[in-house]
């Protein structure tokens, strides 16, 4: 472990539909995301354009001040056009339900998700919460109200 590496401990519960489910796991020494696996009884076929909320069989207890982001795996995306529809999915620290992955098949062929397939990756990130306060005016800037490609125009 290097000096800057931080870890947090996250309790994971196996649910009834995930009694053999593997815990999320990092596939390399420096991986940012821990792979999440499909907890399924059999293959799940995703037709082109179809989406499915795929169970992981797991529930987690995130520490206060952290979230779990559910992100796509690039391999699935480049090979099959399968991605996470609501990417990055947000798992709140007070959520105790099953972690699920909303996959969508944006490819042109049906794709079969097999039990135990690594379908997404979970990145644990610190959360900054805001105190939103009503303001009459906002400070001036060079950008001002320009956005949505404004800096690319001449
Ligand atoms: O990809 C996801 C996204 C969400 N969730 C779970 C955990 C999260 O804490 C909860 C709510 O998610 P979100 O806030 O994105 O959904 P919402 O539509 O705002 O529902 P809610 O009203 O329950 O917050 O659903 C997942 O398991 N996977
Ligand atoms: Mg919400």
Q: Is 90 in the pocket of ligand 1 (CB under 6 A)?
A: yes
Q: What is the model's pLDDT at position 152?
A: 87
Which residues of the chain register pLDDT less than 50? Answer: none
CA of 33 to the centre of ligand 2 (A): 22
Decide if 119 contacts 74 (C-beta within 8 A): no
Q: Is 97 annotated as a binding residue?
A: no
The pLDDT of residue 128 is 98
Q: The dihedral of CA 96, 25, 5, 101: what is its sign?
A: negative
Cβ of 40 less than 6 Å from ligand 1: no
Q: What is the pLDDT of residues 112-135, one digit of tens each?
A: 999 999 999 999 999 999 999 999
Whole-number pLDDT of residue 4: 66
17 is in an annotated binding site: no
**Neighbouring residues of 126: CB distance < 8 A, sequence distance ≥ 6:** 65, 66
Distance from residue 100's CA to the centre of ligand 1 (Å): 9
């Amino acid at each position: 472990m290097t000096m800057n590496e931080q870890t947090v401990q996250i309790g994971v519960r196996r649910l009834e539909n995930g009694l053999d489910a593997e815990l999320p796991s990092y596939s390399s020494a420096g991986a940012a995301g821990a792979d999440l696996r499909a907890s399924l009884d059999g293959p799940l076929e995703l037709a082109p354009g179809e989406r499915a909320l795929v169970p992981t069989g797991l529930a987690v207890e995130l520490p206060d001040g952290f979230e779990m982001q559910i992100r796509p795996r690039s391999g699935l995306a480049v090979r099959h056009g399968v991605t996470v529809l609501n990417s990055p999915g947000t798992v709140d620290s007070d959520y105790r339900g099953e972690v699920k992955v909303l996959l969508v098949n944006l490819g042109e062929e049906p794709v079969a998700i097999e039990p135990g397939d690594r379908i997404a990756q979970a990145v644990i990130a610190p959360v900054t919460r805001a105190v939103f306060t009503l303001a009459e005016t906002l400070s001036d800037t060079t950008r001002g109200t320009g956005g949505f490609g404004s800096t690319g125009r001449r």
